[in-house]
Amino acid sequence: MIDSVLAAVLMGLFPLRNGGHGFESLEPMRIAVASPHVEAERRKIDQSAIKNLSASGVLIVDLQSGQRLHEYASAIPRPMASLTKLMTGLLIAENHALDEWVTIPQHIGNVVGNTAFLPPGGIFTVGDLLSALLVQSGNDAAYTLALFHSGSETKFVEEMNMRA
């Protein structure tokens, strides 16, 4: 009987209170117990490779169980701008020729962040705009290409999500 209750507590079925602090804190503390499969995978992770990572955060997840095998600063929110620009470049490269002509929207000055300073009404090739997007990290180039491809920012985001 004791073993069953202990197993239920350890598996997180019952919240435990923060030990040593009495019951002043109502914050529940849960203990996650990994399956033997996950524990074996944790042991397989090359610790020297993890120490050599230069990423600002790491999250390694067992795809079978969904349990986290290793993490470091994984909960810190990070901007998605560069990933979005890469996906923009991919969609444009897959669907357009580099020599297609694109007109810069008149309201391009409203785009914030990194820009390539594209002039409103200017005409550039897709290849030129991809360079501004990927080399200069121009948000104005990303916005222009998104409108060129899909007609609206919302529709382009939907297409990026479908492609991803």
Residues annotated as catalytic (active site), given as ranges: 82, 85, 137
**Quick check: helix, strand or coil at residue 123?**
strand
Dig out the tokens for 91 from the structure.
């969609």
How far is residue 121's CA from residue 106's CA, in Å, rounded to a whole number? Answer: 6
Instruction: Tell me the CA distances in angstroms from 38 to 24, 34, 43, one per residue in order.
Output: 34, 6, 9
Dihedral, CA atoms, 139, 141, 142, 145, nearest 10 degrees? 160
